[in-house]
Amino acid sequence: MQSELLANGDHNRANIHQLDDTLINQIAAGEVIERPASLLKELLENSIDAGSSKIEVQVDRGGMKRVLVRDNGFGIPRDQLVLALSRHATSKISDVEDLYHMQTMGFRGEALPSIAAVSRLNIQSRTADQESAYSLSVHGGKQQAGPRPAALGVGTTVEVNDLFYNTPARRKFLRTEKTEFNHCDSLVRKIALANPGVEIEFVHDGRTSLQVAGSDSDQARARRLARICGKPFAEQSVYFQDDVDVMSLQGWMGLPTFSRSQRDLQYFFVNGRPVSDSLVSHAARRAYSDVLYHGRHPAYVLYFSIDPALVDVNVHPAKSEVRFRESRAVHDYIYRTLHRIIAELSPGDAEVSMPSPQSVQAATSGSGGYGSFPAQQNIRMMVQDQLSAYELLASTAASDPEQPISETAQDHKEIPPLGYAIAQFRGIYILAENSTGLVLVDMHAAHERITYETLKRQLDDNQVASLPLLVPLQLNISGPEIRAIESFQAQLTEMGFEIGLFGDEQIVVRSVPELLKHADVENLVRDVISDLQEFGTSDRVTNAMHEVLSSVACHGSVRANRKLEIAEMNALLRQMEIVERSGQCNHGRPTWMSVTLSEIDKWFMRGR
């Protein structure tokens, strides 16, 4: 009986044996070297770790034929060249504690031997105290000859030819040259952003694809940003800096009006290391959620710094992910910082294309505005004003009898940022003059935003009303989800849900937030629970309520072609100056634009 079972099938047992080094390295290469861009990443990080100030990259045929990286770093001494190419050999750490205060990009001592196991690799290197450079070649993991003298300045050049030539199965996973090149290109851009002081030249098939000088000043950094991320982003983003005890965040945030159809312009660096982190992208998405049209993605370049003891970088072979010890605190900090800056943005910021000292300061102080839009305070609307939110124009105009109807910019020394209305144009736009020139306002879009922000504020101030369902909803859910509900009962109640546990794998939803009585409750509840499990918070309910408010705001706002009095227009302008995020309508389009007098003079060739 038993012998029958053993004989079954054609699995013949082989003897256990030790794998040889080449095979071990080829297996290891499977983890880190997926495509040309991944080996390029390892080589570039080695160059950065070597303190290079200049790096040259050459890539042929998407990197599948050849990748060369030349740096001017401190080099590798002749007697350590062979060691550099052997497994688990590194100069960067010596004990496990070092992992928790990493100053270098690499530390696993695996990259060079892994690459050399699946390609034809040549390395040339010279340290400052050597007369000559030495060169070593390894093909498919086999060393070709001992280190030989070579002609090279101080630094290191690594050339990798014919990736995967000896592992044809892996070669089949490579994509077209163009795709592989695109991966290399975005990698080089990422490294260039992460290391603003390093000069980088990137040549593909003999053509320069990116060339950036090392930057030391703010201006040079902004120029570099424009080269790497494109001029439109550089022009339509604001620079900011924020610091708290153990964390800091700085970088460029794209204006909401500069949204993207893809997530291709989202860079995040943790202590100088490019990472993709779902926690962070969630925080950023959340910060932008209210100012972006559905399906659009924000653009940003963010540098996050944290005490290295609070972040684990050794969780992924390619080190493209990190783990934060206080992940919720990190999420919270990033969200709050970005959210605050977005709330302070205005369309005038687009004019601030280069980071100026003022814009940096404004962002750091946390309360200032940007560009031409000075600091503003919020006026909390009273709860009783619910109705008047719909009649905002009339009510504010009436409550401000001081303001003479015929006010003009000339009558006042202190001209408000959006100036004073002079006319209504085509029933759509308000024309106003301020101290610098002409302001045009899309009155429906602006009013809609103000109404919406006001309604949201009221929602924040009041408890969310909860509405009992006529027929309670029973849902089957999993064990971990049940535990999430148990531990987040308070949050769920606050959102307006009443959820009872019913056996091991069932819940009963008894009440839902009143504003969402027409929503798809089942999906909403499921999504909320999965958010709570993953992030500890959920914005779904708020977002869904905001959608309802947004449509209320649209219906309750002045329509095009309604004739407005000058006083009503001025009231709208004053509201816009007060209300957060009034620079964009609810769909992320601008609500106002301005043109300066000197620009207008130029149209008419009028010298002043």
147 binds, among ligand ADP, Mg ion, none (CB under 5 to 8 A by kind): none
Which residue's structure tokens are 């995967």? 164
Instruction: Establish if 70 lies at the interface with ligand ADP (CB under 6 A).
Output: no
Cα–Cα dist 600/441, whole Å: 17
Instruction: Establish if 147 lies at the interface with ligand ADP (CB under 6 A).
Output: no
- Which 8-state DSSP code applies to residue 297? B
Beta-carbon contacts of residue 305 (< 8 Å; ≥ 6 apart): 247, 248, 249, 270, 271
Task: Provide the phi-psi class of 157: left if phi over 0, else alpha when psi is between -120 and 50, else beta.
Answer: beta
Cα–Cα dist 22/4, whole Å: 39
Closest CA to 99 of 368, 314, 361: 314
Among 62, 63, 106, 419, binds ligand ADP (CB under 6 A): 106
396 binds, among Mg ion, ligand ADP, none (CB under 5 to 8 A by kind): none
Instruction: Establish if 251 lies at the interface with Mg ion (CB under 5 A).
Output: no
355 binds, among ligand ADP, Mg ion, none (CB under 5 to 8 A by kind): none
Instruction: Establish if 306 lies at the interface with ligand ADP (CB under 6 A).
Output: no
Task: Please list every residue from 108 through 127 that binds Mg ion, using CB under 5 A.
Answer: 111
369 binds, among ligand ADP, Mg ion, none (CB under 5 to 8 A by kind): none
Cα–Cα dist 532/591, whole Å: 35
Task: Provide the phi-psi class of 234: left if phi over 0, else alpha when psi is between -120 and 50, else beta.
Answer: alpha
SS3 595: strand
Instruction: Establish if 50 lies at the interface with Mg ion (CB under 5 A).
Output: no
Least distance in Å: CB of 42 to ligand ADP? 6
Strands 266-270 and 300-306: parallel
| Residue nearest ligand ADP (C-beta atom) | 106
39 binds, among ligand ADP, Mg ion, none (CB under 5 to 8 A by kind): none
Asked if 184 and 36 touch (Cβ cutoff 8 Å), the reply is yes
Query: Smaller CB distance to ligand ADP: residue 125 or 582?
Result: 125
Among 36, 63, 73, 141, binds ligand ADP (CB under 6 A): 73
Which residue's structure tokens are 């082989």? 14
Cα–Cα dist 244/279, whole Å: 19
254 binds, among ligand ADP, Mg ion, none (CB under 5 to 8 A by kind): none
SS3 398: helix
Query: Smaller CB distance to Mg ion: residue 46 or 434?
Result: 46
Asked if 118 and 164 touch (Cβ cutoff 8 Å), the reply is yes
Cα–Cα dist 322/315, whole Å: 6
Instruction: Establish if 313 lies at the interface with Mg ion (CB under 5 A).
Output: no
Closest CA to 229 of 258, 257, 189, 260: 189
Q: Looking at 87-95, 301-309, 494-502, 535-543, which segment touches ligand ADP (CB under 6 A)?
A: 87-95
Among 28, 33, 40, 42, binds ligand ADP (CB under 6 A): 42
Least distance in Å: CB of 257 to ligand ADP? 42
Among 36, 75, 106, 419, binds Mg ion (CB under 5 A): 106
Q: Looking at 39-47, 257-265, 383-391, 518-526, which segment touches ligand ADP (CB under 6 A)?
A: 39-47
Rg (CA), the chain: 30
Tokens of residue 114, six digits: 């892994």
Task: Please list every residue from 474 through 493 that binds Mg ion, using CB under 5 A.
Answer: none
Q: Looking at 44-52, 138-146, 282-290, 473-481, which segment touches Mg ion (CB under 5 A)?
A: 44-52
Cα–Cα dist 311/332, whole Å: 16
Q: Looking at 101-109, 248-256, 303-311, 342-350, which segment touches Mg ion (CB under 5 A)?
A: 101-109
Least distance in Å: CB of 216 to ligand ADP? 23
**Residue 515 burial (C-beta neighbours within 10 Å; 0-12, 13-18, 19+):** buried
Least distance in Å: CB of 99 to ligand ADP? 12
91 binds, among Mg ion, ligand ADP, none (CB under 5 to 8 A by kind): ligand ADP
Instruction: Establish if 118 lies at the interface with ligand ADP (CB under 6 A).
Output: no
Tokens of residue 137, six digits: 């070649």
Least distance in Å: CB of 159 to ligand ADP? 12
Binding site for ligand ADP (CB under 6 A): 42, 46-47, 50, 71, 73-76, 84, 89-92, 106-112, 156
Binding site for Mg ion (CB under 5 A): 46, 106, 111
